[in-house]
Amino acid sequence: MAKQARPGTDLIERADTPPSGDPERTPIEITPQEDISCLLGSAGTLRSDKPGFAQIEIGPGANETPELRDAHQELAKSKADIQSLISAIPVAIYRTSADRTGATAFMSERWKEWTDNAASDFCRGPEAWPKAIHPDDRERILGAFNAACRKKSDYTLRYRIVHRETGAVRDVMDHGLPLLDENGDISSIHGVVMDVTEHSQAEGQVRHLLARQAAVSRLATALSESQDLGRIYRTIYDALGALVKTDAFIISFYDSRTGLISAGYAIGRAGEIPAGAIPPISLSTHWCGPRSHVVRTGEPVYIPDYAGAMESAGPMAPDVRIESANSAVFVPMRFRGRTVGVMQVQSHELDAYTQDEIDLFAAMASVATVAIQNAHLLRQVQQEITARKRAEELLLLHDSNGISGSQPEGRSQCLDRAEHPVTTGQTVDI
């Protein structure tokens, strides 16, 4: 740049202008008798030398020695290397003050990638950092930051930041260390912010899996305390209702001998529904319905728009709907490698279930199937014991009426009638 220096006191900008942009200015007295070239030295270049008037060019490299030029070049290269290193590391580095909002003097470009706030935004507005923090975390984090500043201690903060344009949310870990001056006051705080989003997601998955395992374990414990089928059904319904949307719940059993899928238990928000009110379906005639599909494949079925699926009358059209359900999940009841039934939950909401909830329902159905199997086995054993007792009573009755051991046909008929009583109702192949 060019500057005119007139006789008297004037200001000449020195070539070693600091990086901040504010040139260091040094007063120099200029007279016609002075040798202006000697006065300038390495600070600038003389463009004209007239009595009482000088036009000079001042800037980096003007009349500088080779050694000084090499030093400037080395300094520029070092700054570029440091900037490249800062840009490469997967963290944001900052230098800030200890005021209420953490007015930031320096922030690396990684922060712009995460929040769309450039380093220059921090210089222009001290609220740039708080505004990037998720609204639900902002008050807590500012309070923790100010508390650390009062104590003059380092801090580690975990919070969410939001991208200004896309709204994308990241979880970050922020660690800051205060630097104290000779009076023991904080001169500045140097810190680093790390993106821990993936770590947080992994933690969330672990917590979710542990919660699912705990829910299944609680259900297994509760079911082990009873062998009554009615109580078991209700326990399953209550456990599901505490975890997923359960406006209706149906348990259906598949009888491989008859090929029928029949409801064994049904309940809605108004209370239990007689299982007989839901007609059985034949696996052969309802080959593609959701319950039939689950029995044939052993895989869950999710219908996010239940009413729409019924109206479409397509291959997966549901065959039963309770209380205007709008979405439903069907999961298999498997025992010893066979699908012996279907559990389904229905909700009044459209697309009410997530994949995690479907997986949880399927896990709970597996536990419930074992409990139902045990209850059925117990009922079968009790029926056999009752039949044997009845057989013994009939034998005693016939013996007292004159039927002796010499008449085996009569005794055989009594035993057959006692051990194979005529039964009515649904047969469950489980």
- Which of 67, 99, 123 terminates a domain? The answer is 67
Alpha carbon distance 180, 186 (integer Å): 4
Write down the pLDDT at residue 381: 83
Residue 108 gets the label, from left (phi > 0), alpha (psi -120 to 50) or beta, of beta
Q: How do residues 343-366 score in pLDDT, each as one tens digit? A: 999 999 999 999 989 998 999 999
354, 214: one domain? yes
- Which of 176, 195, 214 terminates a domain? The answer is 195
Residue at 76 is within a domain: no
Alpha carbon distance 93, 108 (integer Å): 5
Alpha carbon distance 427, 421 (integer Å): 14
263, 357: one domain? yes
Which of 112-116, 243-247, 307-311 shows the lowest mean pLDDT across its residues?
307-311
CB 160 within 8 Å of CB 134: yes
Residue at 424 is within a domain: no
Residue at 165 is within a domain: yes
Q: How do residues 59-87 score in pLDDT, each as one tens digit? A: 555 556 777 776 777 676 666 655 655 55
Alpha carbon distance 71, 44 (integer Å): 18
330 band by pLDDT with thresholds 50, 70 and 90? very high
Name residue 70's amino acid. D
288, 362: one domain? yes
Q: Over 80: is that where the pLDDT of 417 sits?
A: no
Residue at 211 is within a domain: yes
Cα–Cα distance list, 316 to 249, 301, 320 (Å): 19, 9, 12
168, 101: one domain? yes
Which residue's entry shows tokens 């045990």? 374
Upper half-sphere CA count for residue 395 (Cβ side, 13 Å): 15
Alpha carbon distance 97, 191 (integer Å): 11
- Number of structural domains found in the chain: 4
Write down the pLDDT at residue 24: 45
Write down the pLDDT at residue 266: 93
- The domain in which residue 394 lies consists of 380-419
- Residue 85 DSSP symbol: H
190, 213: one domain? no
Q: How do residues 89-118 score in pLDDT, each as one tens digit? A: 668 888 887 765 556 777 777 888 899 887
How large is the C-alpha radius of gyration of the chain? Answer: 42
Q: How do residues 15-41 score in pLDDT, each as one tens digit? A: 444 444 444 444 444 444 444 444 444
What is the rounded average pLDDT of the residues 209-223? 82
Residue at 210 is within a domain: yes
Q: Over 60: is that where the pLDDT of 414 sits?
A: no
Write down the pLDDT at residue 137: 96
**Torsion angle of C-alpha atoms 286, 289, 292, 294, degrees rounded to 10:** 170
Alpha carbon distance 430, 419 (integer Å): 21
Write down the pLDDT at residue 13: 38
Where helices occur in 106-196 by DSSP H, the ranges are 110-115, 119-124, 128-132, 135-151
Name residue 276's amino acid. G
Which of 38-52, 147-161, 331-345 shows the lowest mean pLDDT across its residues?
38-52
155 band by pLDDT with thresholds 50, 70 and 90? very high
Q: Over 80: is that where the pLDDT of 216 sits?
A: yes
DSSP secondary structure letters along 275-337: GGGS--EETTTSTTSHHHHHHHH---EEES-HHHHHHHT-TT--S---TT--EEEEEEEEETT
Which 3 state secondary structure label does DSSP give 19?
A: coil
Alpha carbon distance 81, 79 (integer Å): 5
Mean pLDDT of the chain: 76
113, 219: one domain? no
> What is the DSSP pairing of strand 248-255 with strand 260-268?
antiparallel
241, 359: one domain? yes
Find how far residue 104's CA is from the centre of its chain. 31
Which 3 state secondary structure label does DSSP give 425?
A: coil
331, 254: one domain? yes
CB 138 within 8 Å of CB 127: no
What is the rounded average pLDDT of the residues 309-326? 66
141, 266: one domain? no
Which 3 state secondary structure label does DSSP give 13?
A: strand
Q: How do residues 377-394 score in pLDDT, each as one tens digit? A: 887 888 888 888 888 877
5 band by pLDDT with thresholds 50, 70 and 90? very low
Write down the pLDDT at residue 33: 41
Write down the pLDDT at residue 333: 94
DSSP secondary structure letters along 177-228: EEEE-TTS-EEEEEEEEEE-HHHHHHHHHHHHHHHHHHHHHHHHHHHHT---
CATH number of the domain where residue 123 is located: 3.30.450.20
Write down the pLDDT at residue 128: 80
Name residue 54's amino acid. A
